[in-house]
Amino acid sequence: MGNASSSLIRRICFERVGGYNCQLKAENAQGCEDLELFIRIAEHYQFKVVPEFLVGYRQISSSMSCNYAAMAKSHSIIMADVRERHPEIPANIYRWSSSSFYIYNLAVKSNRNGNHRSTLFWLYRAFREDSLMTLLRHNLYILSIESILKIILPPPTGSGLELKQASESSEGTTLARIETRTKVHKILPSQVYERMRFNSLANPKSK
């Protein structure tokens, strides 16, 4: 699940599995309550993805999801609980999940908020979890190079650059741009390999 902002869940699901886990907040591990709920639902029900853009998601530096330590702790607690309930699931699937989480939920957000040392740290954590999948992801190279350069080089100045940044900022993100990025994203090596992994899990006899 990409996010919890546009999910439609039947009431009977909540009646069977319960609601959100409020104990994570008490452990200073907020951020993955939606993931934990979705996993519990997936243990009993099938779900589908609507291939359309249904919500605009805005984040600011003070958002709960920008508390990277709490997010990482939340994910770790949830994964440990799932692994205890489902030891039959291969360990490499859990590593794959954690690697993706560190890149998309923590490294990318760190980069957007200008926390470049944090970006490198979460990329390292992703690589440590699943080195092959991380090496295939374009974000590893883009974020690493950008973060290293911004750490060692002073910020550029000049009216021309400032005007360009202001112009780019005013344009915003349009649906057409998102659709173009999505089309490109589907043919990236990491996505091709990821689909192969999913297919092997769905059809184990085809190996």
- State whether 95 and 193 are in the same domain: yes
Number of compact structural domains in the chain:
2
In terms of Cβ atoms closer than 10 Å to its own Cβ (0-12, 13-18, 19+), residue 65 is middle
Stretch 191-202: mean pLDDT, rounded?
84
User: Mean of the per-residue pLDDT values for the chain?
Assistant: 83
- State whether 85 and 142 are in the same domain: no
Which of 89, 113, 138 terminates a domain? The answer is: 89
User: Quick check: 2 pLDDT over 70?
Assistant: no
> For residue 170, is it within any domain?
no
For 111-155, write each residue's pLDDT tens digit: 988 899 999 999 999 999 999 989 999 889 999 999 999 999 876
Which of 45, 70, 89 terminates a domain? The answer is: 89
Q: How far is CA 9 from CA 15, 19, 175, in A?
A: 11, 11, 26
Q: Please count the other Cβ atoms lying within 10 Å of the Cβ belonging to residue 184.
A: 11
91-103 as b/e: b if 16+ CB within 10 A: eeebbbbbbbbbb
User: Quick check: 170 pLDDT over 70?
Assistant: no
- State whether 97 and 194 are in the same domain: yes
Which of 58, 89, 120 terminates a domain? The answer is: 89
User: Quick check: 162 pLDDT over 70?
Assistant: no
Stretch 47-72: mean pLDDT, rounded?
77
> For residue 205, is it within any domain?
no
- Taking the C-alpha atoms of residue 141 and residue 119, their distance in angstroms, rounded to an integer, is 12
**Lowest mean pLDDT, pick from 28-32, 116-120, 148-152, 164-168:** 164-168
Parent domain of 71: 11-89
- State whether 67 and 113 are in the same domain: no
**Predicted confidence band of residue 48 (pLDDT cuts 50, 70, 90):** confident
156 vs 126, which has greater pLDDT?
Answer: 126
- Taking the C-alpha atoms of residue 200 and residue 188, their distance in angstroms, rounded to an integer, is 19
- State whether 106 and 185 are in the same domain: yes
